[in-house]
Structure 1
Amino acid sequence: MDKESNGKPAVILIHGMWSNQDTLRDVKEAFVDQGYTAESLCLPYHFPKAEHTEASRAKLARTRVQDYVAFIVEQVKRLDSPPILVGHSMGALLAQLVAAQVPCDRLILLSSAPPAGINGLSWSAIRTLGRNLLRFPLWTSVTEVALANVEYGIANAQTSSVQKDIYESCTYESGMATFQISIGSLLGSRSATHVNTRSIECPVLIVGGTADRITPINIQRSIAQRFGKQASLVEIENCCHWTVGGAYFPEVRSRIFKWLQGH
């Protein structure tokens, strides 16, 4: 997957927690419709729940943020030219960590999880994570979400049918990665989620919903401040965390390609 003859860079899509490559199908279709070659990655051990075994859950539970980043970096290195990285939620944080290691054409961050140093433990985020935060030790467990978590904090601005579809497609997540992202704000530059923005030279688009409860809009504003003039921030009014499909995706899609045309 290399740069097309039309000059458009390849696109790599990175999903978030409790998700897999199918989560970003609407995003992938949008890029393909615009003439891009797009690949949606599946992070290690992010199988559907029904395909998991006790052994695979144990491996996932201990998978670190660094392991996810290393996996994505290898995919980027296969290309002949820097790609556009598009990430959602945890995937947007991973995209930043990857772009600090290897050159990228552009970064598109949808409802990004907070890098180290930005407090992500708001009451609404804690409520969305729910019982996962009571698991001990969290770094040796898998985490998962219930329908109530999706309805409250992930897709609160979506219809009940969309909420149900999201829940039914959710899988397990690494407790270790959940732990690393949750405590990142306390560790600063020592954290695995610390993003060295000075190492990222490409333009950055940050998209967030004003009704997002798990990665609230203040997190997106703080990320934009870190990148300074390098970043463009788009705030989608009344949109929740689910910026990759559902009711608000047409506006998200429009703003993405308007920005790409200008860069």
Structure 2
Amino acid sequence: MSAVDNSKPPVVLIHGMWSTAETLSELRRAFEGQGYVVHAPTLPYHKEKSAYDTDDRARLARASLQEYVDFIVAKVNALETAPILVGHSMGGLLAQLVAARVQVDKLVLLSSAAPGGINSWSWSMVRTFGRNLFRFPLWRRVTEVRESHIRYGIANTQTPVVQRQIFDMSTYESGMATFQIGVGGFLPHGFSRVDAQAVQCQVLVIGGTVDRITPIKIQRAIANKYGARAQLLELPGVCHWTVGGSNFPRVCSAMFHWLENKAA
């Protein structure tokens, strides 16, 4: 770890679906290597799969995006200065919802899930989610990801070793949150909708051109949502897994270059 640079804002990392803070270990080390103080909380009710019992899964199944956002807002409010929020996948959506409620320094969105009002549906997304989308009632079930879905839609440009590591780190996810992002995103007042005018900071949107679960069209729409405050970086040949593996050096180079230029 490099020496802490107290002139830099703290960083809060927000993981995505089927994940814990462990998922973002490479990202955390990269920021710490640049002198940032990093906070990487695990979202409520998330833990290793083997640690769940029936009651744990029931609690997670009912967890809402509101609970996740409230949890992160409390973490941000406990900091002395406004942080940089870095969110991956569902964490990218959560970062936007948080930034609409509290002051943050900057937003970095890596392969972000779509806020409500942006159509996130595609055949590749449906294929990646697989049978999870047919669990009824979804808002009372947990979802989980298979290794075949990771190989197809989440880490399709990664090595088999990395794909297996992602699967081994994966856990259950809330069906309620899944429903709110997917179906609920079409509702005019769904909680996944982000008030873009309430997000006052600069926004970096990074997306891979071969991402199959949050395709590049979603990243373009998110950047467009924030207008002149946003910059979109499209990485050719990069999949959804922008927080580690073979894609990570390119992601880090783009991300830290943007942060350095926006430091003033």
Query: Scaled by the length of structure 1, what TM-score is found?
Result: 0.97
Q: Displacement, 1:203?
A: 0.5
Which residue pairs with 1:85 in the alignment?
Answer: 85
- Residues 116-168 of structure 1: CA deviation (Å, up to 9, x unaligned): 01111111000000000110000000000101110000000101111011011
CA RMSD of aligned residues (A): 0.8
Question: 8 Å contact 1:117–1:184 — kept in the other structure?
Answer: no
Q: Which amino acid aligns with 1:33?
A: G
Which residue pairs with 2:17 in the alignment?
Answer: 17
| Matches of 2:185 and 2:209, distance apart in 1 | 21
| Matches of 1:182 and 1:14, distance apart in 2 | 19
| Matches of 1:35 and 1:164, distance apart in 2 | 31
Over 2 Å off, 4+ runs = none
| Matches of 2:39 and 2:260, distance apart in 1 | 20
Which residue pairs with 1:136 in the alignment?
Answer: 136
Which residue pairs with 1:187 in the alignment?
Answer: 187
Within a 5 Å distance, the mapping from 1:137-216 to structure 2 comes to 137-188=137-188, 190-216=189-215
**Structure 2: runs of 5 or more not aligned:** none
Q: Displacement, 1:5?
A: 6.0
Q: Which amino acid aligns with 2:13?
A: L
Which residue pairs with 1:261 in the alignment?
Answer: 260
Q: Displacement, 1:75?
A: 0.2
2:255 aligns to what SS in structure 1? helix
Task: Report the identity percentage.
Answer: 55
Question: 8 Å contact 2:93–2:115 — kept in the other structure?
Answer: yes
| Matches of 2:206 and 2:184, distance apart in 1 | 21
- Residues 146-203 of structure 1: CA deviation (Å, up to 9, x unaligned): 0111000000010111101101110000000001101133113x01100001001110
Which residue pairs with 2:29 in the alignment?
Answer: 29
- Residues 13-34 of structure 1: CA deviation (Å, up to 9, x unaligned): 0000000001001111010000
**Structure 1: runs of 5 or more not aligned:** none
Query: Aligned residue pairs: how many?
Result: 259
1:161 aligns to what SS in structure 2? helix
2:136 aligns to what SS in structure 1? coil
Q: Displacement, 1:81?
A: 1.1
| Matches of 2:6 and 2:234, distance apart in 1 | 30
Which residue pairs with 1:120 in the alignment?
Answer: 120
Which residue pairs with 1:236 in the alignment?
Answer: 235
Which residue pairs with 1:245 in the alignment?
Answer: 244
Q: Displacement, 1:73?
A: 0.3
Question: 8 Å contact 1:115–1:184 — kept in the other structure?
Answer: no
Q: Which amino acid aligns with 1:167?
A: F
Q: Which amino acid aligns with 1:91?
A: G
Question: 8 Å contact 1:64–1:174 — kept in the other structure?
Answer: yes
Which residue pairs with 1:65 in the alignment?
Answer: 65
Question: 8 Å contact 2:212–2:239 — kept in the other structure?
Answer: yes
| Matches of 1:184 and 1:175, distance apart in 2 | 12
1:218 aligns to what SS in structure 2? helix
Question: 8 Å contact 1:184–1:194 — kept in the other structure?
Answer: no
